[in-house]
Amino acid sequence: MVDESKNIEVSDSDLESDSKGQLIKLAGKLRDRRNDLNQMASKRAGKRDELNAATREKVDEAQEHREKRDELNEQVQEHKQKRNELNAKANELFDEVEGRKSDLELDDGKGLEELEEEIEQLEFKQQTEVLSTEDERELIEKIENKREEYRTRQEKLEGNDDLEGMVEEAEEVRSEASQHHQQVTELADQAQEHHNQMIEAYREADDIRDEADEMHEAFVEVQEAADQHHEDFVRVQKRLRELDKKEEKARKSNREQEREEAKEEAEEIYQKFKEGETLDTEDLMKLQKTGLL
């Protein structure tokens, strides 16, 4: 803030009533105060410019974070798209595997090891138990059916070795999709971090800009006071010039009056000289000075 107690005010009555000496002192005070205020205004302008430069730096920093965030978000979208495409492909492969299993009925019935165990149990029963002809016939028929089921299932499995390859491919595709998902997560975290830094930089820029605006207001206040002191200084100088002109005019008037009086006196002396009176040295000098001799 401007210390108004140090400011100097000049009224029209001061200009009219103050003596020339008082006005000269007043002009000096106005000039000194004006120079002090201009120096103060210059410092505040410099500080304001520094703050404005710092604001621009923070805005540039925020823009850099914005650009990096947008770049990362683009990468996130690319990895999301790739992840979704791979997941869709993996789902198709797994659906195809399940479909082929269903067609081959590999998901139904008993496994080869279980069938083999059942056949062994039936054969052991045939060898160790005393059975009637009818029961033995039924047991033999049951054993043959199990063996036939075993052979059929074994042939289906042996004829579909590529099924495991499809499962492996589906799992590889799913794994690749997971890698892209991991990239999505990591890049999204980085993008969020740049977003947070962008927000913080903009906030700091706003704070610095507010400080710069306050400093500009302080600069304007001081500069206006300096301008007012300069205007008053010019007013006092103008008044001094007016007084100088008046004094010069008065001096000129006095000189003319003195010359007129000297001329009149010389004419009287010259008239005495013409009438034959004797002139002294002083009278002769007065005649010479006025050009009558």
Q: The domain that contains 144 carries what CATH number? A: 1.10.287
| Amino acid at position 3, single letter | D
CA–CA separation, 148 and 136 (whole Å): 18
Rg of the chain in Å (alpha carbons): 59
The percent of residues above 70 in pLDDT, for the chain, comes to 86
Q: Is residue 45 part of a domain?
A: yes
pLDDT at 252 (0 to 100): 79
pLDDT at 291 (0 to 100): 62
Q: Is residue 6 part of a domain?
A: no
Q: Is residue 238 part of a domain?
A: no
CA–CA separation, 40 and 198 (whole Å): 36
First vs last C-alpha separation in the chain: 75
Q: Is residue 75 part of a domain?
A: yes
Q: Is residue 29 part of a domain?
A: yes
What's the whole-model pTM score? 0.59
Query: And the tokens for 259?
Result: 């010359």
Residue 65 domain boundaries:
25-224
Residues of the chain with pLDDT under 50: 107
Q: Is residue 3 part of a domain?
A: no
For helices 162-274 and 281-290, the axis angle rounded to 10 degrees is: 130
Number of folded domains in the chain? 1
